[in-house]
Amino acid sequence: MKYLNLFAFACSFVLTFLSLFSISAHSDWRAQMQVLRTQMEGLAPNLYSNSIEGPQQKDYVAKLKAMEKEVLKLDAELTNHTASAPDKDPTLPYMLKAFRRHISRSVESAEAGNYLYSRDLYRSGTAFCIACHTRNSNGVHFPQSVTNQNFTGKNWLDRMLMLTSSRQFDEAISEFRTQLTASPKTDRSRGPEVRPIEVEKGARLALAISLRVQNDPKLAKELVTLLKSSPMPSMTTKKLAETWANDIDTLNLIFKGDVGEAEALMNSARKLIGEFADREFVQGSPEADIKLMAVSQLMNALLLKPSSKLLRAEAYFYLGIVNEAFSYLGLWSLHEIYYEACIEELPHSALAQKCLQRYKGSLTFEFAGSFAERLLPSVRAQIAKFEKLADPKR
């Protein structure tokens, strides 16, 4: 039940996220986000039940297909430039397409009678909404009074995630500070004793907010200093804090803002990536966090500048690596989107082959674990599509 409740929290996050778009300056986008919000509210009861049986099945499929239709419509309008996006981020269309495919796969599974798997796909699809609403520091700071009702009684790390997801970044960092400064033996009145593994995840999230979203290396350094002096983290996390502190000092200028034209930005990113050339970027490598966030900062800046297809494709590749490493936090699981963008930007190239390798590995693990033969037909078709695009012989 614990994991079911956590998935339910994710659904409630999304209902809040969609409200953020509803107060943007883009009326068409606002109206469509409101429609999606209503549809997600209608689907919410299905996420709380342990099974979907009898009349529930027909109702669930109907609601899911209505939502798929709305997402398809929005995707088509954005692709055909008949709808206005909330900002100029070139990755936004990729996010929307990935969200649309995820919902379609959920429909496909439900129609095949795999209702619980369909529900799991739908739940995980909420990550695209979360990621979109925490891409950068631009956007609405959602009123705390509106969302506080969802936070009472939750685990402190859940509260921190919910605050981050609803763009209450200062409040999320304040939650982390509170945990670090409390006595390790006190009850804290709001939850059980904090576990060291939670402290490390909270620290990674707080640093991601301060550097990746708020571009504030001074705040990040303050948080690391507090982490080192607190009795709450394990010795392993305290050693990580030393590495993070050194990297924040070294990469300070990158986090403060733009540091050159496209080629210079890429050279800086290549240098940072090169330091880890002999190892795989995985979720369990937190010592690389600050350097990977710096790569993300550099590549996001590059994509907003005039540049060649090669530079843009390489930028997408590195952003895929960064997002794959940070998918552990549950907020920025966009790596597959960036690998697709890499292949489409520079098809039939050696770089496209690299992106394809990581893309296939991620999709296979996400949808079938180690059993590739269990992949949905639509997932197989998606992989085949990008295999053609990446094939150097074509």
pLDDT along the chain (394 residues), means of 10: 44 47 51 76 64 74 87 79 66 78 85 80 70 60 48 71 77 91 55 76 92 90 94 92 94 78 91 70 74 90 90 94 81 82 95 94 70 70 93 84
In this predicted structure, what is the pLDDT of residue 370?
47
In this predicted structure, what is the pLDDT of residue 25?
40
Q: Which two tokens stand for residue 219?
A: 């705040």
Gap between the Cα atoms of 277 and 252, Å rounded? 23
Pick among 1.10.3470, 3.30.960, 3.30.1490, 1.20.120: CATH of 1-133: 1.20.120
In this predicted structure, what is the pLDDT of residue 69?
87
In this predicted structure, what is the pLDDT of residue 267?
93
